[in-house]
């Protein structure tokens, strides 16, 4: 049984969320309040709240219940501060009843839930600025040089093995660094490994 506390400034919203909680046989409603003052006394497993994150107080006794946050924010609110406060689910206020109940159950199980629109935004913000497609423009010769760099070969050794001049090796190295957006040979090798250009 999930011990649930509802906290929302709006009496109308609280009433709706109370009805929602009552519809689930897995939820025990501890109470419905306009703020979070009762959290310390009632020790809920999950708090379903529409209180803005900036108004959520830090935990006083070290015990942080899982918060399911209903918000109108157009931007994702997943931050280190949100996680510290116990936010485990972020949904739009117009989320469906089934979505809210699923989020409560997931949060009680220790999972994190967020609105699909927030997920898209987070994935976009986390995407690397340079794609593998951009780095696949390394020429066959540049790949040879990069693999020798990974083996620790110096420019003179690479030049001797490939039967090219030192100057040409320097040119290839500079081109590799530029295409991989790397600041050093070591970084270029690391990026090459990550992107599958070099097999260990």
How many CB atoms within 10 Å of residue 32? 19
Q: What 3-state DSSP class applies to 34?
A: coil
Q: How much is the pTM?
A: 0.59
Q: Which domains does the chain have, with CATH numbers?
A: 2-126 (3.40.50.2300), 132-194 (1.10.10.10)
pLDDT of residue 135: 44
**CB contact set of 30 (below 8 Å; sequence gap of 6+):** 3, 4, 5, 38, 42, 44
pLDDT of residue 134: 47
pLDDT of residue 132: 46
pLDDT of residue 101: 94
* pLDDT (tens digit per residue) in 52-100: 887 887 766 667 789 999 987 655 566 666 777 888 888 888 889 999 9
Could you give the C-alpha distances from 94 to 11, 13, 71, 196, in angstroms and in order? 16, 11, 9, 43
Series of mean pLDDT values for 10-residue runs along the chain (200 residues): 95 94 94 91 93 79 82 65 80 88 92 69 54 61 90 91 89 88 87 77
pLDDT of residue 103: 92
pLDDT of residue 113: 81
Structure tokens at 157: 């050794």
């Amino acid at each position: 049984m999930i011990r649930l506390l509802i906290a929302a400034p709006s009496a109308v919203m609280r009433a709706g969320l109370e009805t929602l909680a009552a519809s689930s046989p897995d939820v025990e409603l501890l109470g419905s309040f306009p703020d979070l003052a009762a959290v310390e006394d009632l020790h809920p497993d999950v708090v379903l709240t529409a209180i803005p994150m900036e108004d959520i107080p830090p935990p006083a006794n070290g015990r942080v219940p899982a918060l399911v946050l209903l918000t109108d924010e157009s931007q994702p609110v997943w931050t280190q501060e949100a996680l510290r406060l116990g936010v485990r689910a972020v949904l739009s206020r117009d989320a469906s009843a089934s979505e809210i109940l699923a989020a409560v159950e997931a949060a009680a199980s220790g999972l994190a839930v967020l609105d699909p629109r927030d997920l898209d935004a987070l994935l976009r913000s986390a995407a690397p600025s340079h794609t593998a497609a951009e780095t696949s423009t390394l020429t066959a010769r540049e790949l040879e040089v990069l693999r020798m760099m990974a083996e620790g070969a110096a420019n003179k050794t690479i030049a001797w093995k490939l039967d090219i001049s030192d100057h040409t090796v320097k040119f290839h190295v500079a081109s590799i660094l530029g295409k991989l957006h790397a600041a050093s040979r070591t970084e270029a090798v690391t990026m090459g490994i990550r992107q599958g250009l070099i097999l260990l």
